[in-house]
Amino acid sequence: MKNPASSAPWRLIPPMEATGEQLMAIDRWLLQQHRLGKHPPALRFYTWSPVAISLGYHQRHWPKSWENLTYLGQPVDLVRRPSGGRAVLHQGDLTYMVVTSEVTGDVTGEVKGDAPRNPRFGNRLQAYQEICQFLIQGFLSLGIHLDYGTSRQVERTKPPKENVNCFGTATVADLVLPDGAKLIGSAQLRSRDGQQTYYLQHGSIQLQPDPDLFCQVFGAEALAKIGRSDRFPPSLPRDRASLMPILINALVQAAQDCWGVKFYTQPLTEAEWAEIGC
């Protein structure tokens, strides 16, 4: 990600909570504006309210029961992401989003697993792992060791019908705890303009999911495969509200160190909200 030719700082948008439709509209707008040269690369973190299940862009199959789910008396939203992959339950998690065109293919250490290549986008896995370096370093600074998953399947164009759950498989683009539990699932949208590729990468960090809701959505067996904050070092708080500021600070610092960039912090302005239209 380090790019000596780019001296412009990245934008860090302060954490927010919003509906799934609003969050996805903002992310699409950030990518569009960056592609038009009107906005710098950006990093942001957010939570979803009400609780939502986000579907991968190409995902066409999911249980009908999801359309009638409720949580604490409120309907669970069903929202489509612009990024690929499978379904994610956004309750008790923290989502990160990166928009950039500064992926260089410079990944420290060996790139694990098969590296799918696409003539339009180059090495897809390398792009994932270059962006994910900040997650590994940020969690390591808090005493949490993460590594890539082992499944060689990275974002099929259409997820198989039998596996609708993003956290049901840990691919070599995902991050797992030492016991193999998947803590972070990531997905990308890539677009090309001439020789330049633009990336929008989403990721869900599982912190404090409600076990009953998770089992209702994905089944009891799936719950055992996910990482949670109760597996973190005892020095860290377990509840999501207390943990998130600590985690976000560590990840922002790691992003600066890994990518060699500086951030300026700026919330979305009223004019930007008007452009986004939500």
**Of 85, 203, 73, the residue nearest 138 (C-alpha):** 203
- Candidate list 166, 215, 258, 278, residue with the active-site label: 166
pLDDT at 166: 87
Give the number of C-alpha atoms closer than 13 A to the C-alpha of residue 174, restricted to the C-beta side: 30
pLDDT at 172: 83
Single pTM value for the model? 0.89
Domain boundaries, the chain: 10-276
**Is 132 a catalytic site residue?**
no
Average pLDDT along the chain, 278 residues, taken 10 residues at a time: 64 98 98 96 98 94 93 97 95 98 61 39 75 97 94 49 78 91 94 89 96 93 88 94 98 96 97 95
Cα dist from 228 to 132, 166, 253, whole Å: 19, 15, 22
Sequence-separated (6 or more) residues with CB below 8 Å from residue 55: 62, 78, 79, 80, 81, 86, 87
pLDDT at 102: 83
Task: Look at the domain 10-276 and name its fold.
Answer: BirA Bifunctional Protein; domain 2 (3.30.930)
3-state helix, strand, coil in the chain (%, to 5): 30, 30, 40
The helix or strand, by DSSP H or E, that contains position 95, with its residue range, turns out to be strand 93-100
